[in-house]
Amino acid sequence: MVRANISKSRAPSQRQLRVGEVLREALTDTFQRAPIRDPLLAEAAITITEVRPSPNLKQARIFIMPLGGGDDGGAPILDALRRAAPYLRGEVARRVNLRHAPVLEFELDHSFDEAGHIDKLLDQVAAEDEQA
């Protein structure tokens, strides 16, 4: 009997999706309730748009979007989150019942910028079609 190689698929498993959602809720709760010493993080409004755990659940990539924008693109907040990652990992471990607390890797979410760019391109194409 030949078994399908499921591990090579690119789509996340149901378990990864569930764990990602639980981690997102735990991080949101941590940002709201836990004392964070970094003044930049304590004052910042951060949206966690997505959490993607690795297939073995030992790492999690967290996509964030700082609210209020700014000219710096969120780089200082991203640096502060990376410095606070060990503390946040411990707080998540207290809130989530997993065998191992995943290593947290923070990234800026550029999907909204890309969606806006695609919308702009589609509007240009529609305007050109109306003129023709």
Q: How many separate domains does the chain show?
A: 1
- Cβ proximity of 47 and 69 under 8 Å: no
Q: What residues does 51 pair with on adjacent strands?
A: 62
Asked whether residue 6 is domain-assigned, the answer is: no
Length in residues, the chain:
132
CA dist., res. 85 & res. 103, Å (int): 8
Residue 1 pLDDT: 45
At 25, which CATH number? 3.30.300.20
Asked whether residue 107 is domain-assigned, the answer is: yes
Range of the domain at 120: 11-131
- Cβ proximity of 91 and 101 under 8 Å: no
pLDDT higher than 90, residue 102: yes
Q: Concatenated DSSP letters for 40-104?
A: HHHH--EEEEEEEE-TTSSEEEEEEEETT--TTTTHHHHHHHHHTHHHHHHHHHHHS--SSPPEE
Tokens found for residue 48: 């966690």
Q: Provide the pLDDT confidence category of residue 96 given band limits of 50, 70 and 90.
A: very high
Q: Provide the pLDDT confidence category of residue 4 given band limits of 50, 70 and 90.
A: low
Asked whether residue 40 is domain-assigned, the answer is: yes
Per DSSP, 37 falls in state -
- What is the pTM (predicted TM-score) of this model? 0.77
Asked whether residue 3 is domain-assigned, the answer is: no
Q: What is the pLDDT of residues 16-45, one digit of tens each?
A: 999 999 999 999 999 888 888 888 888 888
CA dist., res. 15 & res. 20, Å (int): 8
